Amino acid sequence: MIIVGVDGSVTSRAAVEWAADDAFRMRMPLRIVHAVDLLPYQIGRYPNAALPDVLLREGRRILREAEALVHERQPTVEVTSQDVEGSPAAVLREQAEGAAEIVVGSRGLGGFAGALLGSVSMHVAGHVHCPVVVVPEGHRPMHGEVVAGVDDSAECEPALAYAFEQAKLRGSALRVVHAWQLPVHAFAPEISSYDVDEVRTAQHQVVRDRVAIFSEDYPEVKVLEDVQSAHPVNALTDASERADLLVVGSHGRGALGSMLLGSVSRGVLHHAHCPLAVVRA
């Protein structure tokens, strides 16, 4: 089952559309979830007794609109909805049990709004075992390409597997991006010297080794190897301009190491031009 979190925002609508299309492609049921965190309104000397009911009614309205959008966009997709009391992080973690993926908008009004741009995102992506897809606002032209970031660690393989499957379901090409940088002291000849061509060859081999693991199972997917001497944020962000989906691993070593805990993850989340899937190893 695919789970999509909604809060009534514009990006929430974009997330529902993306999730509906993916549920159709994957032939899976879709559950729409709205989180209602009543705790802040129940604390205080004079709590507003009527406010929780207002929030619950608004949540039901948001869910009805989201269901109608799914029926309009993908009439054959089986869809259910659920209003859940709790914080977004707790709700997403609970809903992730047994889910194929979780989809949220990149920013919005509350509930799931901005969930993948701060502490909630790191919490969810660091604890759930399914892909987490962040969908930005706006409609984009289709490019027929899925982009996957890879590094020199085995931990990136779940992300690459997800990217291959997405490319197959979409009938798209798969661009495998590997960004590498020479150590700083490589620019100081008195310290050490590097054969740049040899290093470049070794980096290309990293990509070929990763791709070879899946190519036999996905012969219909056209693979484009994209090996760059660049910062991973720049390489992935640039590639996302021509992509329908960008896929990265949640952690690893090398160029894409600690994706969700450092500057690379923040840079990609804030600057990607297309939906971003984070796949935990």
- 210 within some domain: yes
At residue 136, the pLDDT reads 87
Contact, 252 vs 280, CB < 8 A? no
Judge whether 6 lies within some domain: yes
Q: Token match 């012969």: residue? A: 219
CATH number at residue 240: 3.40.50.12370
Q: Give 280's contacts (C-beta < 8 A, 6+ positions apart).
A: 125, 126, 128, 129, 130, 131, 158, 249, 250, 251
148: exposed, middle or buried (Cβ count in 10 Å: 0-12, 13-18, 19+): buried
- Which residue among 135, 168, 193 closes a domain? 135
Which domain range does residue 116 map to?
2-135
Average pLDDT over residues 224-244: 90
Same domain, 173 and 83: no
- Per residue in 83-123, pLDDT (tens digit) is 988 877 788 889 988 899 999 888 655 555 554 444 555 56
Residue at 24 is within a domain: yes
Per-residue confidence band for 262, with pLDDT thresholds at 50, 70 and 90: very low
Quick one: what percent of the chain has pLDDT higher than 70? 75
* 127 within some domain: yes
pLDDT at residue 195, as a whole number: 62
Tens digits of residue pLDDT in 27-66:
999 999 998 876 655 555 545 555 667 777 888 999 999 9
Residue percentage of the chain with pLDDT more than 90 = 38
| Final residue in a domain of this structure, among 135, 164, 180 | 135
So what's the pLDDT on residue 50? 57
What's the predicted TM-score (pTM) here? 0.84
Scan for tokens 């080794």, then name that residue.
209
Neighbours of 188 (CB within 10 A): 10
User: Between the CA of residue 59 and those of 8, 134, 180, what are the distances in Å?
Assistant: 8, 21, 46
User: 173, 145 in Cβ contact below 8 A?
Assistant: yes
Supply φ then ψ for residue 222, to 5 degrees. -80, 125
SS3 content of the chain, % helix, strand, coil (to 5): 45, 20, 35
Residue 85: the pLDDT is: 84
Residue pair 26/82 in contact by the 8 Å Cβ criterion: no
